[in-house]
Structure 1
Amino acid sequence: MDELTIAMPKGRIFEEAYELLVGAGYDLPKELDDSRKLIVEAPNEKFRFILAKPMDVPTYVEHGVADIGIAGKDVLLEHDRDVHELLDLGISACYIATAGLPDTEMDEVTPRIATKYPAVASHYYRSKGEQVEIIELNGSIELAPLIGLSDRIVDIVSTGRTLKDNGLVEYEKIADITSRLIANPVSYRLKQQRITELVDKLREQVGR
């Protein structure tokens, strides 16, 4: 049986994906859930897990250091990686939206958009025929409209609580986001039987 190397992000996605794998009948070590290690073995299933930052998972899969991975659709939209998207796992559901201060118009000359998703934001506003200036930030995106750095932000929305707590309102929904199972194209050919078996078991769990 071929060993599968699986890249997974820590946090909410990891916890929900772990439950899916266990529910699908895979025998995973309990310490996997709270391990501080970056590489964890599950010898009973011949799985090797790489625990990575969410943005890095598709990179590891694209370059073949991981055969498969679990990544948010937001990451896949932002970074055009050469990977196969095999299954929508339906976990960690949220969406990308535009937001800003209530009852405000965007600058008529060059609206400024703050985001950690510059590619997604650029594509969205281009599709609307709007020319904007993208300001890339890595954290506290909600701060940008409050200090006059941007007219709008483009960010992930889960419950909307963070926007509300900072006095912001949602304007436009851009895309629904869930986590996806992805595969390296070469690994998918060489280990197709194992990967297909995994996909089939997970599909039964998520009902897709």
Structure 2
Amino acid sequence: MILALPKGRILKALTPVLEATGLLSQPSPIDEKTRALRFPSTESQLDIVRVRSFDVATFVAFGGADIGICGSDVLTEFDYPEIYAPLDLEIGQCRISVARHPRAGLRDEAPSSKIRIATKYPVTARAHFASRGINAEIVHLHGAMELAPSLKMAHAIVDLVDTGTTLKANGLEETDVIAHVSSRLIVNRIAMKTRPQAVSDLIDRFRKGLRSQKK
């Protein structure tokens, strides 16, 4: 079996829970200094892979991994029917929001008008604005979204927000919260059917590891 872990911020927040599961061996996937992407676990039948946080759901949906951890923002954006999300890990909490320059006038856009949004969440952004009768043209970026309004590439951005410090540093203000985000344990539905005991055991390990961190 394969467990897919996300690189970066979520992995750091997840470290105490991972350690509590007893699955980590040496070399460890939480050591981001190593260039290795696949690691053994303490269980002989389980390997751990470390991939981009935005790719975990795709690895699990297409069978590259049986189980994984990713943000609920990714699950909403891709909405893979092959994925089951049985456990909210309550870590990596943030929100996906609309942000703009204070004088951009986005709030005054009339229904059925068209605006340009810079984001790496095209599905989420289009759905949010469509619910308000606004046709959103998407500028698909993978980073540095905060630059887009000042460079006249977009009227606003849709992105993850934690403290809001980066928005303020770039002259933006948060105007709408689309959804609150946390990390979820996800499972490939076929793996759940074909290896139910092994998958259930892994879910239980994470559930117990999560409980141990709340004591």
Tell me the TM-score normalised to structure 1 length. Answer: 0.90
User: Which deviations, in whole Å up to 9, do the C-alpha atoms of 1:123-145 show, x marking residues without a partner?
Assistant: 11112222222221122100111
Which residue in the other structure is 2:193 paired with? Answer: 189
Q: Which runs of 5+ in 1 are unaligned?
A: none
Shift of 1:154: 0.4
CA RMSD of aligned residues (A): 1.8
Shift of 1:19: 1.9
Q: Which runs of 5+ in 2 are unaligned?
A: none
Distance 1:17 1:30 in 2: 17
Shift of 1:43: 3.9
Q: Contact 1:28/1:44 (CA < 8 Å) preserved in 2?
A: no
Shift of 1:102: 0.9
Which residue in the other structure is 1:88 paired with? Answer: 88
Shift of 1:111: 1.4
Tell me the TM-score normalised to structure 2 length. Answer: 0.87
Distance 2:64 2:79 in 1: 18
Given the alignment of the two structures, is residue 103 of structure 1 paired with residue 103 of structure 2, yes or no? yes
Distance 1:170 1:112 in 2: 16
Which residue in the other structure is 1:77 paired with? Answer: 76
Shift of 1:8: 1.0
User: Which deviations, in whole Å up to 9, do the C-alpha atoms of 1:46-67 show, x marking residues without a partner?
Assistant: 4201111112211111121211
Q: Bigger CA drift: 162-171 or 183-192? A: 183-192
Q: Bigger CA drift: 106-115 or 135-144? A: 106-115
Counterparts in 2 of 1:18 and 1:195: CA distance versus 1, 3 Å = farther
Counterparts in 2 of 1:18 and 1:191: CA distance versus 1, 3 Å = farther
Which residue in the other structure is 2:153 paired with? Answer: 149
Question: How many pairs were matched up?
Answer: 204
Which residue in the other structure is 1:129 paired with? Answer: 133
Q: Bigger CA drift: 197-206 or 108-117? A: 197-206
Q: Contact 1:113/1:154 (CA < 8 Å) preserved in 2?
A: yes
User: Which deviations, in whole Å up to 9, do the C-alpha atoms of 1:139-162 show, x marking residues without a partner?
Assistant: 210011111221111000011000
Shift of 1:117: 0.5
Shift of 1:45: 5.7
Shift of 1:38: 0.8
Q: Contact 2:23/2:42 (CA < 8 Å) preserved in 1?
A: no
Given the alignment of the two structures, is residue 112 of structure 1 paired with residue 116 of structure 2, yes or no? yes
Which residue in the other structure is 1:174 paired with? Answer: 178
Q: Contact 2:145/2:157 (CA < 8 Å) preserved in 1?
A: yes
Q: Bigger CA drift: 35-44 or 82-91? A: 35-44
Q: Residue type matched to 2:172 in 1?
A: L
Given the alignment of the two structures, is residue 17 of structure 1 paired with residue 14 of structure 2, yes or no? yes
Q: Contact 1:96/1:155 (CA < 8 Å) preserved in 2?
A: yes
Distance 1:66 1:166 in 2: 38
Identity %: 38
Q: Residue type matched to 2:94 in 1?
A: C
Which residue in the other structure is 1:162 paired with? Answer: 166
Distance 1:60 1:84 in 2: 13
Which residue in the other structure is 1:50 paired with? Answer: 49
Counterparts in 2 of 1:16 and 1:30: CA distance versus 1, 3 Å = farther
